[in-house]
């Protein structure tokens, strides 16, 4: 125990020493890139509809990594978040965090060595994918849902948008094995591959008291890394839980009052006395899933070809060139087979919402304005609509206030977490790799 406390102390000190370095990295590159480029999609497309548009892309070489002490984000809860719950048999340690971080960014963990977890949960894009509505897996295979953010994932009671998992330790095996995500043929295949990769030698044994890579330890390491990705202490948290009255503007406070009052958003996106998860960890039918699965939409879709250039395309034409039929999505029903669970999805947290577009389980809405217009209309009427969803009669100004409030939910450590992710090795296959599989096998 003594030993553990001193590790925590030393790593805390390490962070204090290290953090100024991270800050200098940003400061020294400030004139080369807009600050926001550090976390924002490669190309934010803000104002893309105007012919004045200028790209905000950040080249790979401009990325600056700075390793952070991630364990602190588990051990010292940030303002606005409760203590992180951890399974008793998988308490976070520096060794586990480091190992999980290696695995999360390792592209060799997929069948053809191209797909890591971070290809869909992209750190600089809010640990989601800002540029696509629904995920695309190995060899361009379609996934029917939007990649959710991994920020604050430790605080969900149920995982996935239909709540089909409840343990981060087990969750990782879904994408590792899904044929349209990382496409590994079996658990053993992944384990053998990890055993063959030089960089992992001894690391599992060190992190898990002598245990090597197994189905269990791979899941545990990935879970621990993801549990560190907590992000709060936002302007809202400073205002609500930190007694800093001027952390929010009057406009943003008006948005908060609507959120907990007239618009009643907080009846599902909870805000508590001591902390706010912005989720009730329950599943609800907002009507969005119903509309999407019934194909209720306009006859034409507006497609943007270039800055300022649009065409309205008949949906029939779009459907006729679709390579794969769109997969139906009935939400929670797919897990329970209970007809009353149709089109129910888990309430997502709204923390860091400004960074995690597009929105909803299918990424249908690209802006918060579209989400608010949807709620203002009362969602989409259907026989199973949640009684909490109803027309809100919000004025334009009230909608703007609600959006401004939601934009105050970006955590104060986002840059630290993104810079840490940039410092992680990518795990690309190389000729030296025993995994250069395909070569070794053919030459036999």
Residues of this chain that interact with ligand HEC (CB under 6 A) are: 115, 117, 119-121, 135, 137, 143, 145, 147-148, 150, 153, 156, 159-162, 168, 171-172, 175-176, 181-182, 222, 226, 263-265, 267-269, 284, 286, 288-289, 345, 347-348, 350, 353, 356, 359-361, 368, 371-372, 375, 386, 388-389, 402
Work out how close the CB of 351 gets to ligand HEC at its nearest, in angstroms, rounded to a whole number: 10
In the complex with ligand HEC, which residue's Cβ is closer, 66 or 360? 360
Q: Cα separations (Å) of 176 from 152, 187, 429?
A: 21, 8, 17
Work out how close the CB of 59 gets to ligand HEC at its nearest, in angstroms, rounded to a whole number: 23
Q: Rounded distance, CA 238 to CA 20, Å?
A: 22
In the complex with ligand HEC, which residue's Cβ is closer, 22 or 224? 224
CB 333 within 8 A of CB 342: yes
Q: Which two tokens stand for residue 251?
A: 């406009």
CB 143 within 8 A of CB 134: yes
Work out how close the CB of 392 gets to ligand HEC at its nearest, in angstroms, rounded to a whole number: 6
Listed residue (176, 179, 118) closest to 143, CA to CA: 179
Answer whether the bond into residue 358 is a cis peptide, omega within 30°: yes
Work out how close the CB of 154 gets to ligand HEC at its nearest, in angstroms, rounded to a whole number: 10
Q: Rounded distance, CA 401 to CA 251, Å?
A: 6
Work out how close the CB of 411 gets to ligand HEC at its nearest, in angstroms, rounded to a whole number: 15
In the complex with ligand HEC, which residue's Cβ is closer, 64 or 101? 101
Tell me whether residue 77 is exposed, middle or buried, using C-beta atoms within 10 angstroms of its C-beta: 0 to 12, 13 to 18, 19 or more: middle
Work out how close the CB of 104 gets to ligand HEC at its nearest, in angstroms, rounded to a whole number: 6
Q: Which two tokens stand for residue 206?
A: 């060190």
In the complex with ligand HEC, which residue's Cβ is closer, 141 or 300? 141
Work out how close the CB of 252 gets to ligand HEC at its nearest, in angstroms, rounded to a whole number: 13
In the complex with ligand HEC, which residue's Cβ is closer, 9 or 262? 262
Give the chain's length. 444
Q: Rounded distance, CA 218 to CA 304, Å?
A: 42
Q: Rounded distance, CA 215 to CA 211, Å?
A: 11
Residue located via tokens 């104002």: 47
CA end-to-end span of the chain: 52
Work out how close the CB of 187 gets to ligand HEC at its nearest, in angstroms, rounded to a whole number: 12
In the complex with ligand HEC, which residue's Cβ is closer, 128 or 235? 128
Q: Rounded distance, CA 343 to CA 245, Å?
A: 40
In the complex with ligand HEC, which residue's Cβ is closer, 162 or 433? 162
CA 424 from chain centre, in angstroms, equals 17
Work out how close the CB of 161 gets to ligand HEC at its nearest, in angstroms, rounded to a whole number: 3
Q: Cα separations (Å) of 152 from 126, 204, 375?
A: 11, 25, 24
In the complex with ligand HEC, which residue's Cβ is closer, 33 or 132? 132
Work out how close the CB of 168 gets to ligand HEC at its nearest, in angstroms, rounded to a whole number: 6
Listed residue (104, 406, 366) closest to 229, CA to CA: 104
In the complex with ligand HEC, which residue's Cβ is closer, 78 or 168? 168
1 HSE (CA, 13 A, CB side): 0
């Amino acid at each position: 125990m003594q030993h553990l406390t001193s590790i925590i102390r030393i790593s805390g000190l390490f962070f204090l020493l290290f953090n100024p370095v991270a800050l200098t990295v940003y400061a020294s590159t400030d004139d080369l890139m807009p600050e926001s480029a550090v976390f924002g999609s490669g190309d934010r497309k803000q104002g893309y509809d105007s012919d004045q548009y200028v790209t905000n892309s950040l080249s790979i070489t401009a990325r600056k990594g700075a390793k952070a002490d991630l364990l602190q984000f588990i051990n010292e809860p940030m303002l606005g978040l409760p203590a992180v719950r951890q399974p008793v048999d998988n308490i976070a340690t520096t060794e586990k965090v480091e190992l999980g971080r290696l695995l999360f960014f390792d592209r060799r963990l997929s069948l053809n060595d191209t797909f890591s977890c971070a290809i869909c949960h992209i750190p600089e894009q809010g640990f989601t994918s800002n540029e696509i509505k629904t995920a695309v897996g190995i060899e361009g295979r379609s996934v029917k849902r939007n990649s959710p953010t991994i920020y604050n994932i430790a605080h969900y009671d149920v995982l996935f948008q239909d709540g089909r998992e409840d343990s981060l330790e087990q969750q990782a095996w879904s994408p590792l094995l899904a044929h349209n995500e990382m496409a590994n043929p079996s658990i053993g295949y992944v384990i053998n591959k990890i055993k063959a990769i030089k960089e992992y030698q001894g690391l599992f044994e060190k992190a898990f008291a002598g245990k090597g890579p197994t189905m269990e330890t791979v899941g545990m390491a990935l879970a621990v890394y993801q549990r560190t990705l907590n992000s709060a202490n936002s302007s809202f948290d400073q205002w609500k839980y930190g007694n800093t009255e001027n952390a929010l503007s009057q406009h943003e406070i008006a948005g908060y009052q609507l959120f907990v009052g007239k618009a009643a958003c907080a009846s599902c996106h909870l805000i508590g006395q001591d902390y706010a998860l912005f989720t009730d960890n329950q599943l609800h039918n907002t009507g969005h899933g119903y509309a999407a699965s019934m194909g209720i939409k306009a006859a034409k879709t507006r497609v943007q070809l270039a800055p300022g250039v649009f065409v309205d395309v008949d949906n029939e034409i779009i459907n006729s060139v679709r390579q794969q039929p769109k997969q139906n999505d009935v939400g929670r029903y797919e897990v329970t087979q209970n007809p009353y669970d149709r089109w129910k999805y888990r309430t997502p947290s709204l923390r860091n919402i400004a960074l995690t577009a597009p929105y909803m389980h299918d990424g249908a809405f690209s802006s918060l304005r579209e989400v608010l217009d949807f709620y203002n209309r009362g969602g989409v009427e259907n026989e199973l609509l949640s009684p909490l969803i109803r027309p809100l009669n919000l004025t334009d100004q009230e909608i703007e206030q609600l959006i401004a409030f939601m934009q105050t939910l970006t955590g104060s450590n986002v840059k630290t977490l993104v810079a840490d992710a940039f410092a992680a090795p990518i795990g690309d296959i190389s000729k030296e790799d025993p995994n250069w599989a395909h070569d070794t096998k053919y030459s036999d």
